Amino acid sequence: MILLDGAVATELERRGLPMAAPWWTTRALLTEHGRGLLRAVHRRYLDAGARVLTANTFRCNLRALRRAKLDERQAGHLVRLAVDLARSARHGHDDVMVAGSVAPVEDCYRPDLVPADAELRAEHRWMAGQLAAAGIDLALIETVNTMREARIAVEEARGAGLTAWVSFVCGPRATLLSGEPVARAAVAVHRAGAAAVLVNCTSLDAARDCVAELATLGTGAIGVMPNLEPRNGTPVPPELFAALMSSWRQQYGLALLGGCCGTTPAHITALNGLDDAHDGLAAGTRAVHDRP
């Protein structure tokens, strides 16, 4: 099992950094104070046991930053800065990988807004090139809501020489927000070159249904990063989260565990307490670091 980190936006907000359009989490890159907060978040997750730190590039794509009145050169600078912060936070831990976060080019929760293929390809090619130049270890294409964009993002990441993991945001009945079956989407991105398929920013109930489907495919490493934002004012305690993830790992053969919105370093610490959290780490890393 490989431990991923948890939510970045949640931790930045807890430290007083507002999350609002058009900057969202990218706001942390704009000032020394914000960069210090972000560096501290990365280190907290490292100390919690995460062996994949996700660079704060989720909102650094061209479309998002053009809305913030930045040009392509300025956007590229922020991508490199985000990767550098994550890399420097590793404290010399060579076994810790840095993932570049690749978001949908439009809205994570609006599959109806996904643009035409040519636009997707151009913008994902730009992001993949920026991440490759910045020296990331892998591209985490996350919170993707359509099979079409996921496949194109993987193809562009692979074209830039990057290992690609894909993580889908899903709704009920083991489907993407687009309504496409997660199993069919997983097969498509695996064929495009994805080394692992995950589910993220999805409720626990819906995530369980998805990983149960993924476990039947035999298409490679699978994982989950659930959304733990409180419902009805009731948070999910770290110990309960870890116990649930332990049962899923055993039942569905999960290779990658982390968290999305609402998770904290305490949740990753609890996952790190699972009996074999580090067993076979090197072998597991090789297994999901590139497509066989």
Q: What residue spans define the domains of the chain? A: 2-283
> CA–CA separation, 240 vs 35, rounded Å?
32
Q: Are 291 and 194 in contact (CB under 8 A)?
A: yes
Q: Tell me whether residue 260 is annotated as binding.
A: yes
CA distance 108 to 142: 9
We find that the CATH architecture of domain 2-283 is Alpha-Beta Barrel (3.20)
Q: Name the average pLDDT for the chain.
A: 91
The whole-angstrom separation of Cα 176 and Cα 211 is 12
Q: Are 121 and 154 in contact (CB under 8 A)?
A: no
Q: Would the annotation count 60 as a binding residue?
A: no
Instruction: Say whether pLDDT at 134 is over 90.
Output: yes
Three-state DSSP class for residue 238? helix
Reported as type and span, the H/E element at residue 33 is: helix 32-48
Name, in order, each residue with C-beta under 8 angstroms of 74's C-beta and a sequence gap of 6 or more: 65
pTM beyond 0.85: the answer is yes
pLDDT tens per residue, range 207-265: 999 999 999 998 899 999 999 988 767 889 999 999 999 999 999 999 999 999 999 99
Q: What proportion of the chain, given as a percentage, has pLDDT over 90?
A: 80
Q: Is the pLDDT of residue 278 over 80?
A: no
- Segments in 146-279 forming alpha helices (H): 147-159, 182-192, 204-214, 238-252, 265-272
Cis peptide before 111 (omega within 30 of 0): no
Using an 8 Å Cβ cutoff, are 2 and 35 in contact?
A: no
pLDDT digit string, tens, across residues 80-130: 999 999 999 988 888 999 999 999 999 999 999 999 999 999 999 999 999
Residue 282: the pLDDT is 37
Residue where the block lists tokens 């010399």: 92
DSSP one-letter string for 53-86: EEES-TT-SHHHHHHTT--HHHHHHHHHHHHHHH
* Residues β-bridged to residue 2: 256
Percent of the chain residues past pLDDT 70, beyond the cut: 93
Partnered with residue 53 across adjacent β-strands are 98
Cis peptide before 22 (omega within 30 of 0): yes
| CB 22, CB 68: distance < 8 Å | yes
Positive/negative CA dihedral, 66, 70, 74, 80: negative
Q: How far apart are the first and last CA of the chain?
A: 18
Per-residue DSSP letter, 231: B
Six-digit token string for 231: 């419902």
Q: Over 60: is that where the pLDDT of 275 sits?
A: no
